[in-house]
Amino acid sequence: MISPEIEMRDPLQGNQPVIERTRSISREWRAFWKNPLARFGIGGLAFLILFSFVGPIFYHASAYQPNLLNTLHPPSAKFPLGTDSLGRDYLARMMLGGQLSLEVGFAAAFMTTMIGVIYGLISGLLGGSIDALLMRLVDIFIAIPSLFLLLFVDSVFKPNALLLIVIIASLSWFGVARLVRSEVLSLKRRDYVEAARALGANNWRIMIQHLLPNVMGVVIVNATFQVADAILTVAALSFLGLGLPPPTPNWGEMLSDSMSYMFQNAWWLIYPPGLAILLVELSVNFIGDALRQAFDPRLRKR
């Protein structure tokens, strides 16, 4: 969260606050890069992205072609991560599954953040009865069980990646909206906002030029946690059989299928997807923690 001393430029006070903001943001990013949690998180996330998207360029095995002569083959020179129950190359499926998991996770987090930020800005800035109505709608949405909606959508529609992104975003933006709204309620009473309004700035301009830049710190931090939650949701849905239908792989679906072979010593089916999910969760959460420590002035003082 950006500290009060580096707020947006007061229309009546020249450019000095902008210079202070630039210097402070530079200090915050330097503090972020020096944080060991940030380095671990960025390294882990970069490894998974390279593994999922660059790996298939160099590893040309098919992720879909079954080979019943090599079912449940342990890791070897020919199959670095072994094969599954249909003889499909597990390393190729891990790469393809990583693409889907990361794409859906990041896209759902982006959509969640966008909806929540816009909703929270409007609610907090307008205030009054409009704010009360919008927040009561949020309370109603939160009260609806997410699992019930997921089961309903899964029974009515054929799951696909786009639908999965929309479903996750539709069930996740409420917390972001509340967070942004609370920040806006405290910011809109500041002197620089009152000065801008006195000079004739409309709500749209105040929202874009004065409020949004000052909530971006907390929004960026929260977005990293939304990525982690979305990826974990994709894995959980696939584990429960509510994800994308076969043969499209993702780490949650692979982990779910591997449970059937837990007592057959097929360890190579269990550990890779489980460790991949664990690594992406740790990496994204570490990045979020490091961003919060760098941008939250209360944590910086500690």
For residues 89 and 296, which has the higher predicted lDDT (pLDDT)? 89
Q: Say if residues 124 and 180 touch (Cβ distance below 8 Å).
A: yes
Return the pLDDT at 23. Answer: 57
User: Domain ranges in the chain?
Assistant: 30-301
Tell me the sheet residues that pair with 89: 83
pLDDT band per the 50, 70, 90 thresholds, residue 10: very low
pTM of the model: 0.77
> What sign has the CA pseudo-torsion 220, 223, 225, 228?
negative
**For the CA atoms of 114, 215, 41, 237, what is the dihedral angle to 10 degrees?**
-30
Return the pLDDT at 42. Answer: 92
What are the φ and ψ backbone dihedral angles of 62, each rounded to 5 degrees? Answer: -80, 140
pLDDT band per the 50, 70, 90 thresholds, residue 119: very high
Q: What is the mean pLDDT of residues 55-70?
A: 88
Q: Say if residues 190 and 132 touch (Cβ distance below 8 Å).
A: no
**For the CA atoms of 167, 172, 173, 175, what is the dihedral angle to 10 degrees?**
170
Q: Say if residues 188 and 207 touch (Cβ distance below 8 Å).
A: no
| Alpha-carbon span 177 to 131, nearest angstrom | 11
Share of the chain above pLDDT 90, in %: 15
Return the pLDDT at 9. Answer: 46
> What sign has the CA pseudo-torsion 138, 144, 148, 153?
negative
Fold observed for domain 30-301: MetI-like fold (1.10.3720)
Q: Return the number of other C-beta atoms located less than 10 Å from residue 123's C-beta.
A: 24
Return the pLDDT at 201. Answer: 72
pLDDT band per the 50, 70, 90 thresholds, residue 25: low
| Alpha-carbon span 67 to 82, nearest angstrom | 12
Q: Encoding tokens for residue 137?
A: 């709608």
Q: Say if residues 218 and 179 touch (Cβ distance below 8 Å).
A: yes
pLDDT digits (tens, 9 = 90+) for 198-220: 777 777 877 777 788 778 778 88
Q: What is the mean pLDDT of residues 136-145?
A: 85
3-state secondary structure 173-236: HHHHHHHHHHHHHHHCCCHHHHHHHHCCCCHHHHHHHHHHHHHHHHHHHHHHHHHHHHHHHHHH
* 15-29, 158-172, 228-242, 286-300: least confident range: 15-29
What are the φ and ψ backbone dihedral angles of 38, each rounded to 5 degrees? Answer: -65, -40
What are the φ and ψ backbone dihedral angles of 72, each rounded to 5 degrees? Answer: 50, 45
pLDDT band per the 50, 70, 90 thresholds, residue 270: confident
pLDDT band per the 50, 70, 90 thresholds, residue 94: very high
Phi-psi region of 207 (alpha: psi -120 to 50; beta: other; left: phi over 0): alpha
Q: Say if residues 102 and 231 touch (Cβ distance below 8 Å).
A: yes
pLDDT score of 7 more than 50 = no
Burial class (CB in 10 A: 0-12, 13-18, 19+), 285: middle
Q: Encoding tokens for residue 302?
A: 């500690």
Contacts (Cβ under 8 Å, ≥6 apart) of 150: 167, 171, 237, 242
Average pLDDT of the residues of the chain: 80
| Alpha-carbon span 118 to 224, nearest angstrom | 18
Return the pLDDT at 6. Answer: 39
**For the CA atoms of 15, 21, 23, 28, what is the dihedral angle to 10 degrees?**
180
pLDDT band per the 50, 70, 90 thresholds, residue 49: very high
